[in-house]
Amino acid sequence: MRDGEIPDAAWAVIEPLLPPVGKARGRWRDHRQVLEGIVFKFRTGLPWRDLPERFGPWQTVHGRFARWAADGTFDRLLTAVQTRAEVDWLVAIDSTIVRAHQHAAAKGGLKNALGRSRGGLTSKIRLACDGQGRPLAFLVSAGNRNDCTQAETVISLIRVPGPGPGRPRTRPERVVADKGYSARTFRAYLRRRGIKTTIPERVDQLAGRRRRRERPCGFDRAAYRRRNVVERCFHRLKQWRGIATRYDKRPDRYLAAITLASTLIWLDQ
């Protein structure tokens, strides 16, 4: 997929899931034209006002993006494409730092998912992906917050309905993560839910176990070698320049852009 173009196969899946075109004053722009304008804006990172004319008035494209972000349309798209796919339930989690542009600066700090560090204002995308590197759940938080403080929340956001009746699946078979997630509280949370864990212990944790004459946690090296799927997932997301750098003041709008990109990742198989 280049620029804002949505392949026909992907559009055939997306079109029935979008709200019906309503009656309004004047002529409503075609949903595909507008959605391709939204995709183009976030893939290139350009301002809304600089959208090419082929996508129609930038106000229309921006307005529909804001409407769909607020009413949950992008969330429903992602859920629908996850439902129709075969999910690999070895789940890898990690986070990535995103530099916030000066246009994203707003009062409220943590409330707006912005944190200050030596590099300036940053946010973090915290993500869980399946064993094929496709996003299952994610959130945006301030860039200076520790990974372990948000790990349980990310896992709790996993919710994939099945193709038929019944409850959505919320429990992975195994969670793979790096040493940054090696906290006793997180391990205990996964153990309570019956989820297998592949997380290497930190040096200080191993030293403490030796002093207490305890055995180290079990570690599946073969499963850990698959942890790089989350890095590949972040690589695909950050090919969208409007995601690699945060330009949006509102975290819900930025999260909507990540949701749209994740939907197209699931469809681009």
Check: CB of residue 198 under 8 Å from CB of residue 174: yes
Say how many domains are in the chain: 2
On whether both 101 and 58 belong to a single domain, the answer is no
Which CATH number covers residue 236? Answer: 3.30.420
Q: Report if residue 255 sits inside a domain.
A: no
On whether both 100 and 223 belong to a single domain, the answer is yes
Q: Report if residue 104 sits inside a domain.
A: yes
Q: Report if residue 264 sits inside a domain.
A: no
Q: Report if residue 196 sits inside a domain.
A: yes
Q: Report if residue 218 sits inside a domain.
A: yes
Residues facing residue 92 across a β-bridge? 129, 176
On whether both 121 and 183 belong to a single domain, the answer is yes
Give the chain's radius of gyration (CA, Å). Answer: 20
257 Cβ neighbours under 8 A, 6+ residues apart: 42, 240, 242, 243, 248
Q: How far apart are CA 262 and CA 123, in angstroms?
A: 18
* pLDDT tens string 45-75: 999 999 999 999 999 999 999 999 999 999 9
Q: Report if residue 146 sits inside a domain.
A: yes
pLDDT value of position 105: 73
CA atoms within 13 A on the CB side of 51: 24
Print the domain residue range for 52.
8-71
CA atoms within 13 A on the CB side of 246: 32
* pLDDT tens string 126-180: 999 999 999 999 999 988 888 888 999 999 999 999 877 889 999 999 999 999 8
Asked if residue 26 has pLDDT above 50, the reply is no
